[in-house]
Structure 1
Amino acid sequence: MIGGIKRVQVRAGSEADFEAAHRALAAQVKAHEPGTLSYELFRDGAPGRYVVLDCYRDGEALAAHNVSPHGAIWFPRMRAMLERIDVSYFPGHAPGDAQYTALSLTRAPWEKAFRLAADLRLLPRWATRFCQELREEGETFVVRSPQGDVRLRYEADAAARVIWHCIDAGGGELRMPMRVLPHGPGSLLLFTIQQPAGCSDAAFHEQIGWVDQEIGQLRELVEAP
């Protein structure tokens, strides 16, 4: 099971529209997502501040929610009403089932953000904890990480606005998506990591801290002149 908390600040004057959009989305979630166990919106006291509490049966259920047809309709509409969003996911206890999505809003247009995020040679400039050294070996790159050397390649799909990070530490390839989505004149960066089999909850929580830091550094990179 995976629990999520989204803390959002809605633009002034958009509160009623945001609440109506969430009701419409929640109805679709309830009707079409058996793996989503709850999807609730709460006011957080201050004007325009809300908390979304969601719970998923497993990583597959969370992934299905993120790519759902109704989400494709409602997520962009709701994001357009936001000034800020902070997202946290809390992993369950079964290794391999847990996922975490780090998120950052940036002022950079999505085309620029996507181009820089998809340049693997720039990885050492923002993923400073994961990528301690980067070298090319044939068609792939080798990253010296805290866990040792891993092979890394990107699959970038600008039409789908996703950059797949394909990582192989010797036990098979693990694919993790980074999405770069338009958000008004800027863009939204989302990077989902998965808890590998054999990775303890404590180690995964440490990785979550690294990813939160690194996506902030990616934001600084894409916003630089």
Structure 2
Amino acid sequence: MTESRHLSVSIDRPLSDVYAFASDPRNLPRWAPGLGSEIEPDGDGWFVETSQGRVGLTFAPQNEYGVLDHVVRTPSGETVYVPLRAVADGDGCEVVFTLRRGQGMSDADLDRDTALVTADLALLKQLVEAL
């Protein structure tokens, strides 16, 4: 079984606002800038150019449940499933990102990725609350 860390942020906006922003792939570079600065459509999915090469992304279909899961296809061909949820919390919303330890990932690598995702979630909060 893979080790996971559940990273979350509370956002003072309704679930519908958070979901509308976070589910639009065109907004991804705004709140997860480390992934790439531009996202382009690619058939049924999307891609971003990264320093490691072209990364493919496929997002969960629009839904009423706050599911923001996506699949990342790395330049090496590895496929990474990323669970991401937006959950109503009173008048606000909690966004929960499940970070999984990749095969061969060191503790330092996992800690680095935790810090990166935490920063991305903080930026998502800042952007959505400013809408």
Q: TM-score range by the shorter chain?
A: 0.7 to 0.9
Structure 1 residues not aligned, in runs of 5+: 1-57, 59-96
Aligned length: 130
**Post-superposition shift, 1:125?**
0.4
CA RMSD of aligned residues (A): 1.9
Q: Who wins on radius of gyration, i.e. which is larger? A: 1
Tell me the equivalent position of 2:46: 141
The one of 208, 213, 218 aligned to 2:114: 208
Structure 2 Cα separation of the partners of residues 196 and 145 of structure 1: 19
Q: Deviations over 1:193-220 (max 9, x none)?
A: 2222233332222111100000010111
**Post-superposition shift, 1:102?**
1.5
**Post-superposition shift, 1:165?**
1.3
Tell me the equivalent position of 2:89: 183
Structure 1 Cα separation of the partners of residues 120 and 95 of structure 2: 11
Could you tell me whether the CA contact under 8 Å between 2:23 and 2:62 is conserved in 1? Answer: no
Structure 2 Cα separation of the partners of residues 224 and 127 of structure 1: 16
Structure 2 Cα separation of the partners of residues 105 and 207 of structure 1: 20
Structure 2 Cα separation of the partners of residues 143 and 120 of structure 1: 11
RCO greater where, 1 or 2, for CA within 8 Å and sep 6 or more?
Answer: 2
**Post-superposition shift, 1:157?**
4.9
Structure 2 residues not aligned, in runs of 5+: none
Q: Percent identity?
A: 27
Q: 1:156 to 1:123 in 2, by over 3 A?
A: same
Amino acid at match of 2:69: W
SS in 2 for 1:197: coil
Structure 2 Cα separation of the partners of residues 150 and 178 of structure 1: 18
Could you tell me whether the CA contact under 8 Å between 1:133 and 1:144 is conserved in 2? Answer: yes
Tell me the equivalent position of 2:11: 106
Could you tell me whether the CA contact under 8 Å between 2:60 and 2:69 is conserved in 1? Answer: yes
